[in-house]
Structure 1
Amino acid sequence: MKNFALLCFLFIVIASSEVRFCRADASPDAVLDTDGKKLRAGDQYYILSVYSRNSGGLSIGGIYGYEKCPINILPESYDYLDGLPATFSPVNPKKGVVRVSTDLNIEFEASTRCGISTVWKVGKFDQYLKQYFVTMGGTKGNPGRETIGNWFKVEKHGKNYKFVYCPTVCKYCKVMCKDVGLFYKNGRRIFALNDAPFPVMFKKVRT
């Protein structure tokens, strides 16, 4: 009887260990587009606001609206405008599916009149506005200390998604973790780091 009890105990311990092992190794959930399909690295998607009123897709602009080289990211003013297509590049280039809670680069498929890259990054702290803005001019790939500002994550937000800045590509770097939301200035809504997420969904670009 004692041997039987011991065997049962060992079976339970082994089974529990296997469950924990499987859960630890499980990949994060895939990010889904508006058709319910998995986002694929390198494919183009419109990043649309969940709030259809006065908010469309994402585009390029400036805080004041008259900058010679606007580098800020902001939603279109009308819901029928899809904005600029974007691509997502996970930190592991071999991964073909975009997953939640995974470091990635985001890049607009567009060109700027001042020739900077359209890869998203966190800009330097704006001393006047007391704010970190999400801007362009980042570099893609090369995870580490030098590129720490270029990595974002997609996280679940209710039935939709949100962007967060909380990179884990540098084990020894001290980073802040913030949602990517909107900062209001001069009647304009600009992407910035704050505690109020901007819910989004992803619509695949039809070719």
Structure 2
Amino acid sequence: MLRFTASLSFIWLLMATSTMAQTWPAVLDADGQPLRSGVEYYVLPAATDTAGGLTLVNLNNGSICPLFVGQEPLAPVVSSGTTVIFTPRVTDTVIRETRDFTVAFTGFTICAQSTAWMVGEKNPETGRRYILTGMNPTPSSNAWHFNIVKNDQGLYNFQWCPNCLTGVCPKPLCGDAGIVVENERRLLVLDGPSFPFIFRRA
């Protein structure tokens, strides 16, 4: 009886995995391979002549911390930025389109704080929500659950529009992530034109 139950559980797992793959296709990296959980990637602009990869940015507004998510500037030698690791919100081995995940830069910073991305409060002056690091939201918080969507050109955009798994969380004010330039720094923010990215395995 125990062996029969185990077999049924295995069959159910295979069916669930197959259904998930058909419903939510995998996000593909620059080599056409599925974006995998726990693997380091560079997040690069889809248009290579715009700037470099995503990295940690100091706004230099009187305080070093927290650090914001920004983009390396266009320079004679363009930097690929800092690698990130994606972690699906639900158990899976790959990152799938429109499905929630958390994302964090690898390594340590001078702030000795979390490097996980999080949506900040709306800035009263600019009306934008900046994507920053250094916070420690609870696992159930929607503030650090992002997803990736494919645009009309077949390129990938970051989006913040968390799926509610508990059935009791309020619907967030969704937004696409784009790049804005402030004080000569390129910052990743919501509530603006979306910016397409590609993902290259480190």
Q: In structure 2, what residue type is equivalent to 1:50?
A: A
Number of matched pairs:
180
- Provide the residue aligned with 1:134 in structure 2: 131
C-alpha contact (below 8 Å) 1:49/1:75 kept by paired residues: no
Q: In structure 2, what residue type is equivalent to 1:150?
A: W
- Distance of aligned partners of 1:140 and 1:33 in 2 relative to their CA distance in 1, 3 Å threshold: farther
- Report the Cα offset of residue 75 of structure 1: 1.0
Q: TM-score, normalised by structure 2?
A: 0.80
- Report the Cα offset of residue 73 of structure 1: 1.0
- Provide the residue aligned with 1:104 in structure 2: 101
Residue aligned with 1:60, SS: strand
Residue aligned with 1:26, SS: helix
Q: Which runs of 5+ in 1 are unaligned?
A: 1-21
- Distance of aligned partners of 1:47 and 1:65 in 2 relative to their CA distance in 1, 3 Å threshold: farther
Aligned: 1:151 with 2:145: yes
Residue aligned with 1:194, SS: coil
Deviations 1:75-101 (A, max 9, x none): 111373110000100111x30011000
- Report the Cα offset of residue 159 of structure 1: 2.5
- Provide the residue aligned with 2:11 in structure 1: none
Aligned: 1:38 with 2:50: no
- Report the Cα offset of residue 171 of structure 1: 3.1
1:83 to 60, 81, 84: 81
C-alpha contact (below 8 Å) 1:60/1:71 kept by paired residues: yes
1:117 to 110, 114, 117: 114
Residues 22-31 or 130-139, more deviating: 22-31
- Report the Cα offset of residue 174 of structure 1: 2.7
Q: TM-score, normalised by structure 1?
A: 0.79
C-alpha contact (below 8 Å) 1:121/1:138 kept by paired residues: yes
C-alpha contact (below 8 Å) 1:105/1:141 kept by paired residues: no
Q: Which runs of 5+ in 2 are unaligned?
A: 1-17
Residue aligned with 1:133, SS: strand
- Report the Cα offset of residue 141 of structure 1: 7.5
- Provide the residue aligned with 1:168 in structure 2: 163
Q: In structure 2, what residue type is equivalent to 1:166?
A: C
C-alpha contact (below 8 Å) 2:122/2:129 kept by paired residues: yes
- Report the Cα offset of residue 182 of structure 1: 1.7
Residue aligned with 1:110, SS: coil
Q: Structure 1 vs Structure 2: percent identity of aligned residues?
A: 28
- Cα RMSD of the aligned pairs, angstroms, is 2.3
Deviations 1:45-72 (A, max 9, x none): 0000112124111111133477422511
CA distance in 2 between counterparts of 1:120 and 1:134 reads 6
C-alpha contact (below 8 Å) 1:56/1:81 kept by paired residues: yes
Find the structure with the greater CA-based Rg.
1
- Provide the residue aligned with 1:4 in structure 2: none
